[in-house]
Amino acid sequence: MVGYRDLMRAGTTAIAAAADACCVLAFVVIGRHAHGYGDSPAGIWHTAWPFLAGLAVGLVAVRAWRRPLAIRPAGLGAWLGAAWAGMVIRVAAGQGTAVAFIAVATAFLALFLLGWRVALVALRRVRRTAWR
């Protein structure tokens, strides 16, 4: 039987996955705009899908649904999946990669995919100490 906690966990998992996907999409949109590739939905999808697939691989590999807001393992799985599995999928799909692109993508995705979780942990600590 599905209880309240199960529903809350499912909701939290969905929100965390959506936040991660938004981070990947922000990376793609900012990168495409910075390089003058345009902002068409088809172009964004063409660039984003390998990273979104890599994100899914990373989240499943670490079973992120167990602790979706945790930096470790969910955040690390999201980051390494999106950055590294995403690059592998991108190459397999015939899209280009350069060393500089790999470095920038890895850094940006770390900042965003780990960053919102770090901010959440800090906010929880502040709120916890404020109520003492």
In the chain, where the domains are located: 4-130
Segment 63-78, tens digit of pLDDT:
999 999 999 999 999 9
Position 2 pLDDT exceeds 80:
no
Please state the three-class secondary structure of the chain as a single string: CCCHHHHHHHHHHHHHHHHHHHHHHHHHHHHHHHCCCCCCHHHHHHHHHHHHHHHHHHHHHCCHHHCCCCHHHHHHHHHHHHHHHHHHHHHHCCCCCCHHHHHHHHHHHHHHHHHHHHHHHHHHHHHHHHCC
pLDDT given at position 125: 86
Query: What average pLDDT does the chain have?
Result: 91
pLDDT > 70: percent of the chain? 92
Segment 29-50, tens digit of pLDDT:
999 999 888 889 999 999 999 9
pLDDT given at position 5: 64
